[in-house]
Amino acid sequence: MRLNILIVDDDQLVRDFAVNTVAFHTNRPVITLESGFDGWQYLQQQGRDIDMVIADATIPDMDGLELLALVKRNDPRKIFILTSSNADHERTAVHLNADAFLAKPYDVQDLLRVIQELVRQAESRPGSSPTSRAQQSKPRTAPTPS
C-alpha cells in the first residue's frame, strides 16, 4: 500500500503511537507535525505527495477544523481524518466534509480500520485513488510496431 500520510497532533504520546501504527501498517515513512499552521505550510509546499491527513481538532496556531476547511477547499479529494476528544466537533467535521471522524480515545483497530476503509473507498473511484495515481505515474511503454 503506497500511501503517504501526514499526522498533525501536538500530543507527543498520541502522535508517536499513531506514527508507529501507521508506519507498521503501510511500511512507509510518516510525516508528523505539531501545529495546524505547520501542517498547512507543508501541504502547500509538498501537498501533492500527501494522500491522507490525520489531524487533531485541538492543535496550536491553526486548529484541526480550520486546517480541514483549508485542505478541502484546496483539494476536496485529499483524504482528511479528524481526531478529537470533543464529541461536538463531529458535527462540524461533517459540515466541513471530513472523510472520517475518530473520537478519542481511539484504539489500534479504529485507526487501521478507518485508513483501510477510506483507501478502499478512494480506490473504488477511478483516477482518484492513491494507488491509481501511483500507477498513472509509471512510464508508458512504446507501442510495438506491427
Residue ranges binding another protein (CB under 8 A): 11, 13-14, 16-17, 19-21, 23-24, 26-30, 83-87, 90, 93-94, 97-110, 112-114, 117-118
Residue with Cβ nearer another protein (66 or 90): 90
Residue with Cβ nearer another protein (21 or 43): 21
Least Å distance, CB 51 to another protein, is 16
Residue with Cβ nearer another protein (43 or 100): 100
The residue behind cell 489531524 is: 55
Cα separation, 119 vs 27, in Å, equals 15
**Cell numbers that stand for 95 in this block:** 459540515
Residue with Cβ nearer another protein (48 or 95): 95
For the residues of 77-115, what is the DSSP string, one character each?
Answer: TSEEEEEES-TTHHHHHHHTT-SEEEESS--HHHHHHHH
Least Å distance, CB 107 to another protein, is 5
Residue with Cβ nearer another protein (23 or 69): 23
Cα separation, 101 vs 84, in Å, equals 8
Least Å distance, CB 142 to another protein, is 33
User: Within 13 Å, how many C-alpha atoms sit on residue 18's CB side?
Assistant: 30
Least Å distance, CB 19 to another protein, is 7
Least Å distance, CB 128 to another protein, is 17
The answer to whether 39 and 53 are in contact (CB under 8 A) is yes
